[in-house]
Amino acid sequence: MNNRYRKMKKLVFLLIALCGVLIAKAEVVLPNIFSDNMVLQRDTPVKIWGQADAAEKIEVAFNGQEHKTLADTNGNWEITLKPMAFGGPYSLSIQGKNAIVLQNILIGDVWICSGQSNMEFSVRHVKDAENEISKAHYSKIRSFRVKRNMGYDPLEDLDGAWTECNPETVGQFSAVGYFFARKVYEDTGIPIALINNSWGGTQIETWTDREVYKKLPAEYWERYPEGVFGVDPVRFVASQETAQKSFQEAKGIKDDSKEEGYFFPTNISDYKTCKMPLRWDRSELKNIDGVVWFYTTIQLPANAVQNDGILNLGPIDQKDKVWINGKSVGESETYMEERSYKITKGVLKEGNNTIAVRLDDNGGNGGFAGTEEDLFLKLDNKKYSLADDWTYRKGITSDMFGYEPNARNLYPGLLYNAMINPLLQFKIKGILWYQGEHNVGRSQQYRTLFPYLIKDWRKKWGVDLPFYWVQLANYLRIDDKPSRSTWAELREAQTSALTLPKTGEAVIIDLGEAEDIHPKNKQDVGQRLALIALNKDYGKKHLVYSGPTFKAVKFKRGKGVISFRNVGSGLVTSNNTTEVKGFAIAGTDKKFVWANAIIMGDKIIVESDQIKEPAFIRYAWGNNPETNLYNKEGLPARPFRTDNPNK
């Protein structure tokens, strides 16, 4: 027994000694936000921090500055660099028991790019993407893409890496962020950094600190039961991380596109049926990410298959591969690009032909986003419609692993904790925000939540940061008559936050696409945000950064006379007439009808034969209103209504 005790004692001492060796060799570690190619904020004290052994001596050298410090008892250390003018590139040297040298560092302005999918939308998907990418030689623009993550409790670090802008890298940049950065850099010469921590399909609640959110009235908690899916939030978030990893690993291992049973099935009658074109968010697939296979058969006469043809599937979200009769005919990874594939002679045959489409979506809606007219085979100038019943079956999908793609919205603060909190010590210039689509229908709460978030983020960073956002674009079918609009109400809620200092709103009511919630013209979006920043933060006071905004209305002899702010060089219409589209008018009963409106100098005169005693005016009030009012600088008028009871 004593011998056994001595052996155990010796083993314990050996383990303690081994741990001592490992601890002695512990290295200085930096948060992931510090890496090659990064940008440090100019003209302000900048903190550099990390971990090491307790009481370890740390020396930091950067741009002629040298600082020494000791790690505390927990191994944490930090130094503060004195304010520096923009410039670079420089190297950052950190010496402890090990040495770290970071290269190609710039001093400039750092902007957070946050929100949902329209901020996440990358340069490679914009209109004229090939041309934009080819000319993106901007070594002084950098991007840090924050890896998606959730946290029930605040996290101290995040994953990601800094990237220098060039044609090989810019395709992955946030498009709104990039076009903002390009405009600001070209006008100022100041290096611009983008920290892109956006995530598609997210609500504002998940970006809000839960501890702050708890101070809101009980009605804001009605959608958040303490037990999500029957488990407490801590366990749920942990389980989702595991489920997501398993889902992604399974997709990586199993490539069903190489299995004949998928791309050339012998029997598709056992699969589920759907009417095409199908958007996933309008079907049972609405909460699913991953691979879904779609099939149809078409019978062709002998004379139709003698020559080459065209298969058209319309725009697709997100990736697709297509086979006809087991033969590959095309594939694409370009989001919402029109799919039109050439069918060479010999692929099609007389009689039944099987078309198989493998669709892979990793976030957002997914599916076939076109119209019935977009689905067809074209053979010898004759179109054969494919807009009929198709069948489908799942490949590897998220629900097979218990992964809930919408988990990021199931509790307040999940993304704030994981993707904002780790950045709070990192000095930044300001914040760009593009979010709100996922809160449509809850505009009254958004009126409270949006300024709540702005004020809290500023408090956490310890400075009254510039905060600029994009108002929601026009979307869905064009409004055929004046009516209630949840999209217009959300836009109005966004605008209400302009009462806060150092805020700005880029209006894009003219840039949307009826069938696509992600309009591809991100160039003008970034440009309009940049105009705000250039005017407010970069001394370009001569720049007009806003379109016409409502000032007042006076009713005289059955007409409404409207005056505006921010008219710039004058009011104009996009079609160079004096007739303005998009106005509606009502009496005290608030029954709105379309109005006749014309430009008279710096005023708009609005009237309708149907309303003898007008009392209220609306402009661009709808999901997808028809509008044409601008100032001469080319910026659109902001939507408004005078009957808002919240004013």
581-615 pLDDT, tens digit per residue, is: 999 999 999 999 999 999 999 999 999 999 999 99
CB 69 within 8 A of CB 58: yes
Q: Residue 267: what pLDDT?
A: 84
What does the chain come to in residues?
647
- For residues 29 and 51, is the Cβ–Cβ distance under 8 A? yes
Q: Are the C-beta atoms of residues 619 and 637 closer than 8 Å to each other? A: yes
Answer yes or no: are the C-beta atoms of 45 and 80 closer than 8 Å: yes
Q: Is the pLDDT of residue 269 over 90?
A: no
Neighbours of 288 (CB within 10 A): 20
Residues 6+ apart with CB under 8 A from 222: none
Instruction: Identify the residue whose tokens are 């229908």.
Output: 441
CA dist 414 and 454 (Å) reads: 17
> Do the Cβ atoms of 508 and 634 come closer than 8 Å?
no
Asked if pLDDT for residue 364 goes beyond 80, the answer is no
Among 544, 455, 551, 541, which Cα is nearest to 497's?
455
Q: How does residue 493 score in pLDDT terms, banded at 50, 70 and 90?
A: very high
- Distance (Å, rounded) from C-alpha 447 to C-alpha 444? 5
Selection from 437, 471, 457 nearest residue 546 by Cα: 471
Burial of 435 per CB tally in 10 Å (0-12, 13-18, 19+): buried
Binned at pLDDT 50, 70 and 90, residue 645 comes out as low
CA within 13 Å, CB half, 434: 30
Q: Which of 450-464, 509-523, 632-646 has the highest mean pLDDT?
A: 450-464
Q: Cα separation of 638 and 507, whole Å?
A: 6
pLDDT, residue 318, reads 83
Measured distance CA(36)–CA(347) in Å, rounded: 51
Query: Is residue 222 pLDDT above 60, yes or no?
Result: yes
Cβ contacts of residue 308 below 8 Å, gap of 6+? Answer: 342, 343, 344, 345
Class of domain 256-401: mainly beta
- Residue bearing the bigger pLDDT, 355 or 23: 355
State mean pLDDT over 507-511. 98
The amino acid sitting at 453 is: L
pLDDT at residue 20 above 60?
no
Provide the pLDDT for residue 226: 57
The side-by-side arrangement of strands in the sheet containing 583-586 is 593-594, 583-586, 616-619, 640-641
pLDDT tier for residue 19 given thresholds of 50, 70 and 90: very low
Which residue, among 590, 646, 579, 578, has the nearest Cα to 618 in the 3D structure? Answer: 590
CB distance 169 to 109 below 8 Å:
no
Q: Enter the tokens of residue 258.
A: 């190489």
Of the pLDDT bands very low, low, confident and very high (cuts 50, 70, 90), residue 225 is low
- Reading the block at residue 199, the tokens are 């995530």
- CB neighbour list of residue 321: distance below 8 Å, 6 or more residues apart: 257, 263, 328, 330, 331, 357, 358
Residue with tokens 């750092």, as numbered in its chain: 110
- Identify the residue whose tokens are 């910026």: 635
The sign of the CA dihedral 506, 507, 510, 515 is positive
Tell me whether residue 393 is exposed, middle or buried, using C-beta atoms within 10 angstroms of its C-beta: 0 to 12, 13 to 18, 19 or more: middle
Does CATH place domain 28-224+411-468 in 3.40.50?
A: yes
| DSSP-derived secondary structure letter, 52 | -
pLDDT at 255 (0 to 100)? 87
Report the mean per-residue pLDDT for the chain. Answer: 92
Nearest-10 crossing angle of helices 486-496, 443-461: 30
Six-digit token string for 396:
């590897």
Question: Which residues touch 554 (CB under 8 Å, ≥6 apart)?
Answer: 560, 561
**pLDDT value at 365 more than 80:** no
> What is the model's pLDDT at position 601?
94
Contact status, residue 585 vs residue 614, Cβ threshold 8 Å: yes
Above 90 in pLDDT, residue 10? no
Omega prior to 83 cis, within 30 of 0: no
Do the Cβ atoms of 563 and 610 come closer than 8 Å? no
pLDDT in tens, 138-195: 999 999 999 999 998 999 999 999 999 999 999 999 999 999 999 999 999 999 999 9
Of 260, 262, 318, give the one whose Cα is nearest residue 290.
Answer: 318
Q: What is the pTM of this model?
A: 0.88
Give the E-state strand segments of 43-202 in sequence order: 46-51, 57-62, 65-70, 76-81, 87-95, 99-115, 138-145, 162-165, 192-196
Give residue 455's pLDDT: 98
Least Cα distance to 619 among 584, 570, 571 occurs for 584
CB 366 within 8 Å of CB 285: yes
- Bridge partners, residue 356, by sequence: 295, 323
Q: How much of the chain, in percent, has pLDDT values that exceed 90?
A: 81
Helix (H, G, I), strand (E, B) or coil at 290: strand
User: Looking at the predicted structure, is the pLDDT value of residue 18 above 60?
Assistant: no
Q: What is the pLDDT of residues 285-331, one digit of tens each?
A: 988 999 999 999 999 999 999 999 999 999 998 899 999 999 999 99
Residues 178, 194 contacting (CB under 8 angstroms): yes
What is the pLDDT averaged over residues 385-392?
A: 94
Quote the strand ranges of 84-212, DSSP E.
Answer: 87-95, 99-115, 138-145, 162-165, 192-196
- CA atoms lying within 13 Å on the CB side of residue 507: 25
What digits encode the pLDDT tens for the residues 89-106? 999 999 999 999 999 999
Provide the phi-psi class of 297: left if phi over 0, else alpha when psi is between -120 and 50, else beta.
Answer: beta
Which residues are bridge partners to 584 per DSSP?
594, 618
Two tokens, residue 98: 């090990």
Return d(Cα 514, Cα 599) in angstroms, integer: 27
Encoded amino acid at 442, one letter: R
pLDDT of residue 283: 87
Measured between alpha carbons, how far is residue 561 from residues 54, 258, 543, 640 in Å? 72, 67, 28, 15
Answer whether residue 7 shows pLDDT above 60: no
- Is the pLDDT confidence value at 228 over 70? no
Banded pLDDT at 478 (limits 50, 70, 90): confident
Question: Measured between alpha carbons, how far is 237 from 153 in angstroms, rounded to an integer?
Answer: 10
Per-residue confidence band for 22, with pLDDT thresholds at 50, 70 and 90: very low
User: Hey, what are 23's tokens?
Assistant: 């601890």
Interatomic CA distance for residues 99 and 332, integer angstroms = 45
In terms of DSSP bridges, do strands 99-115 and 430-434 run parallel, antiparallel, or are they unpaired? parallel
pLDDT at residue number 373: 93
pLDDT of residue 231: 55
Please give the share of the chain, as a percent, with pLDDT higher than 70. Answer: 94
